[in-house]
Structure 1
Amino acid sequence: MNYFNGGWPRYVPVAELHASAMCKIKELKKKGKICHPVEVGGRCIVDTFWGKKWCQHLEAYSDYANRLPRGRSYVRHGSVIDLKIAAGKITALVVGATTYRVSIEVSSLDPKLWQIIIDECAGKVASLVELLQGRLSSAVMEVVTRPKSGLFPSPEQISFHCSCPDSAFLCKHIAATLYGVGVRFDRQPELLFLLRDVEPQELILQAGRMPVANTPTVLDQQLDTSDLSTLFGIELNTVPLDSHPSMPTLKTQHKTNIEPPFDTPQVIRSQSVTKGKDKAKSAKKKNHSNLDHNC
Structure 2
Amino acid sequence: MAWYGNFAPYVPVAERKENAAREVATMKKKGKIVNPVVITGRNIASTCWGKAWCMYLETFSDYDNRLPRGRTYVRNGSVIDLQIGSGEIRALVSGSSLYKIKITIAGLADSFWQGIVKQCAGQIDSLIELLQGKFSHAVMEVMTQSETGLFPAPNEIKLSCSCPDYAAMCKHVAAVMYGVGARLDQSPHELFVLRQVDPMQLINQSTVSNWMESADTSIATIQDDDLSALFGIDLQQNSTIQTDIIAVPVKEATNSIKRLKVLPKKKHRLSNAEEKLCITIRNIKKDMLKMKIVIAGSSDYLGRALVKKVRKQ
Query: Could you state the TM-score of these two structures normalised by the residue count of structure 1?
Result: 0.69
Which residue does 1:202 correspond to in 2? 201
Taking the aligned partners of 1:205 and 1:190, their CA distance within structure 2 comes to 17
Superposed, which structure 2 residues align to 1:1-295 within 5 Å? 2-207=1-206
1:135 Cα deviation after fit: 1.4
Which residue does 1:223 correspond to in 2? none
Q: Name which one, 1 or 2, has greater alpha-carbon Rg.
A: 1
Taking the aligned partners of 1:44 and 1:207, their CA distance within structure 2 comes to 38
Structure 1 alignment gaps of length 5 or more = 211-295
**Could you say what secondary structure the match of 1:17 adopts?**
helix
- Deviations along 1:6-36, one digit per CA (max 9) or x if unpaired, are 1310101000010100000111112221111
Distance verdict in 2 for CA 1:201–1:85, change over 3 Å: same
Which residue does 2:219 correspond to in 1? none
The answer as to whether partners of 1:48 and 1:186 remain within 8 angstroms in 2 is yes
1:67 Cα deviation after fit: 1.6
The answer as to whether partners of 2:127 and 2:199 remain within 8 angstroms in 1 is yes
Runs of 4 or more above 6 Å deviation: none
1:5 Cα deviation after fit: 2.2
Q: Tell me how many residue pairs correspond in the alignment.
A: 209
The percentage of aligned residue pairs carrying the same residue is 52
Taking the aligned partners of 2:74 and 2:174, their CA distance within structure 1 comes to 9
Structure 2 alignment gaps of length 5 or more = 210-313
Structure with the largest fraction of helix:
1
Taking the aligned partners of 1:209 and 1:122, their CA distance within structure 2 comes to 13
Which residue does 2:260 correspond to in 1? none
The answer as to whether partners of 1:113 and 1:149 remain within 8 angstroms in 2 is yes
Which residue does 2:292 correspond to in 1? none
The answer as to whether partners of 2:91 and 2:102 remain within 8 angstroms in 1 is yes
Taking the aligned partners of 1:203 and 1:64, their CA distance within structure 2 comes to 33
Taking the aligned partners of 1:8 and 1:61, their CA distance within structure 2 comes to 24
Taking the aligned partners of 1:157 and 1:168, their CA distance within structure 2 comes to 17
1:141 Cα deviation after fit: 1.1
Taking the aligned partners of 2:2 and 2:181, their CA distance within structure 1 comes to 32
Give the partner amino acid of 1:25: V
The answer as to whether partners of 2:56 and 2:151 remain within 8 angstroms in 1 is yes
**Could you say what secondary structure the match of 2:5 adopts?**
coil
Taking the aligned partners of 2:185 and 2:2, their CA distance within structure 1 comes to 37
1:187 Cα deviation after fit: 0.5
**Could you say what secondary structure the match of 1:159 adopts?**
strand
CA RMSD of aligned residues (A): 1.5
Give the partner amino acid of 2:134: R
Give the partner amino acid of 2:12: P
- Deviations along 1:259-295, one digit per CA (max 9) or x if unpaired, are xxxxxxxxxxxxxxxxxxxxxxxxxxxxxxxxxxxxx
Taking the aligned partners of 1:171 and 1:90, their CA distance within structure 2 comes to 15
